[in-house]
Amino acid sequence: MDFKEVATKAALKAGAAVREGFGRPLSVESKGVEGVVTESDFLSERIIKEEIRSAFPGHGILSEESPEEKGSLTYRWIIDPLDGTTNYSHSFPHFSVSIALEEKGQVVLGVVFDPLRDELFLAEAGKGARLNGKAIHVSRTGELGKSLLASDFPKDLAAKEGGIFRDFAALSRKAQALRRAGSAALELCYVAAGRLEGYRNPRFHAWDAAAGSLVLTEAGGMITDLEGGPFSLDSGECLATNGLIHERVLEALA
């Protein structure tokens, strides 16, 4: 099997397990400022890692719920076994499984699966982005006032920095509407699919955005840091849009 097949199989299998646990009583543990974790996070991670290890035993793996496994210098998988765990733990139906593959530090494959809606977003570098096999593209809306935006941010940042809410209020006033939906990977794919015009996140981990950022750029979207500078998974912040409203968002927050 090739990279894409393994990633897809792993996402579908892990997603099915996550869906199985949805709405059932689960043990929910606190990770402090990092939010919560459930049995489904660990189960999903085990399933994905097993699929990857059996196909590509030498590859490196960075996954949210376990220490990084250093492997080949060329290939590293970046996994969020359950993105949107807070939603999940409340039976709020918005979460995903996210799997990306880096080759020499560049994300070359991204798969984000929403098991409740049976939506699989997939992108390969240079080959476009697809939702359940059909090509997707960002929206053509150029006006902030007609844009649906989303923003996620962790609770500890909200407690410490008043700026987060000032930005949130400014975007709420200028956009058609603003959501705080809770799954960074899925929100990036929604910008890619034209369901949102933009998404802003002042702090994420590499696993939240690795797959979604490739789906977004392959669908014609733009992603930068919060000031409009170059985006990287290590920078831990992003503004992702359809490209047309990017400057408008930066101006609205200047």
Q: Which helix (H) or strand (E) holds 187?
A: helix 184-192
Using CB under 5 A, which residues numbered 47 to 106 contact Ca ion? 64, 80, 82-83
Residue 16 or 148 having the CB closest to Ca ion: 16
- The Cα diameter of the chain in Å comes to 50
Which of ligand 2AM, Ca ion, none is residue 205 near (CB under 5 to 8 Å by kind)? Answer: ligand 2AM
The encoded tokens of residue 24 equal: 């059932």
Give one word for 104, left, alpha or beta, with left for phi > 0 and alpha for psi -120 to 50.
Answer: left
Rounded (5°) CA angle 92-213-194 = 65
Q: Which of 45, 124, 152, 167 binds ligand 2AM (CB under 6 A)?
A: 152
Which of ligand 2AM, Ca ion, none is residue 183 near (CB under 5 to 8 Å by kind)? Answer: ligand 2AM
Using CB under 6 A, which residues numbered 173 to 232 contact ligand 2AM? 182-184, 203-205, 208
Is residue 167 part of the contact set for ligand 2AM (CB under 6 A)?
Answer: no
Burial of 179: CB neighbours in 10 Å, binned 0-12, 13-18, 19+: middle
CA 135 to chain centre: 19
The encoded tokens of residue 18 equal: 């996550």
What are residue 18's phi and psi, to 5 degrees? Answer: -65, -40
Among the listed ranges 31-39, 44-52, 120-128, 221-229, the one in contact with ligand 2AM (CB under 6 A) is 31-39
Among the listed ranges 77-85, 106-114, 222-230, 242-250, the one in contact with ligand 2AM (CB under 6 A) is 77-85
Residues at the site binding ligand 2AM, with contacts judged by CB under 6 A? 33-35, 64, 80, 83-85, 152, 154, 182-184, 203-205, 208
